[in-house]
Structure 1
Amino acid sequence: MKLYYLPGACSLSPHIVAREAGLDLTLDKVDHASKRTAAGEDFLAVNPKGYVPALRLDDGDVLTEGAVIVQYLADQRPDAGLLPAAGSRARYHVLESLSYIGTELHKTYSPLFNLATPEAVRADRIAYLKRRYGLLEARLAAQPFLHGEQFTVADAYLFTVTRWADYLKLDFSEFPALGAFQQRVAARPAVQAALRAEGLSG
């Protein structure tokens, strides 16, 4: 399998999941401006949407959308415990978290990366983020991961998007449990390996 990625982008989430699952993965870095990959491919031919992640399977099929890719990867190694069994209520709760992170957190960060975003809009988006993180703070204050003692695909996604707060210099000091979660996940060997492979600091 080949994962098309951009260092530190949302593609870090499936990268972490693949390493947690012990899956063999080839990495191909995408240049955001040119849409060319380090291996010389036209990324738009791989994923016409033009954004990472994309996962090329061994038979040539391509999956896109991070929340789908992490489910596929986790299902390749169910014994890793990254996603509960199909049909179980526990699985739907993890998928619920994936959806929440994608719609309420991930997309809220997007305008904060755009220098042209008006200051009033930035302030509104930051306030929105903090309200949404407040719900997760309460959960993480009571347990190490979003769904208890077991690290899941939802934790990989939350860790990935929350790293952007540091890059954007957002003050999240009001969320100590979230901060402890970030440190806990960053210390995992698979996460450390993914960060090193992408040239990111742990």
Structure 2
Amino acid sequence: MANIFISLLMVTISYFMGIFLFPFDFKRYYTYWTLNRTGIIYINGTKGKYTSLDEMIIPFKALFRLRKPKYISYRKIKSIEIKVDLFAYNPSAMITFDNYVPNFGQTMHEMFYLEVTTIDNQKIYLDLRQYYWPDSKERKMLATILTFLRRKNIEFIDKQNITEIVKDKNIKLTKELYRLRDE
């Protein structure tokens, strides 16, 4: 049992040393995307929606230069859908006895992303989780970004009416979506 514990400890130490001690391009580490006049530049390195497992694997992919920026032209995009994957239950409706306060300092959030579908039916997921940080640029600019994308000659899908919700800075997005879903 002690050997297993020591082995796990050594692997953990090696992992953190590999991430924090070796120099690498931090642009390859972060999951990001940018819009320009002709298309979208993105780096995600995941095969689907961003998961917590990706949080552990991405530093190694960045270290070994396996994550590279990609580009997609607006002409090659068939549709863009904005989505929040709500939990099966409303966290605000939970009653807990361990001082848990829903939507306050959570480390687990609902998945929030743009799902880009190309003409050849490839799916690209653009992460919007930074929106959950109150002072982030993503929160300040999301309404403008969505308006920009809606003006492109691309089918824009917003089944949850997120575009209208994010225009009002006083409304909390996930609380409003749970309220609308539970009505």
TM-score by length of 1: 0.26
More strand by share: 2
More helix by share: 1
TM-score by length of 2: 0.28
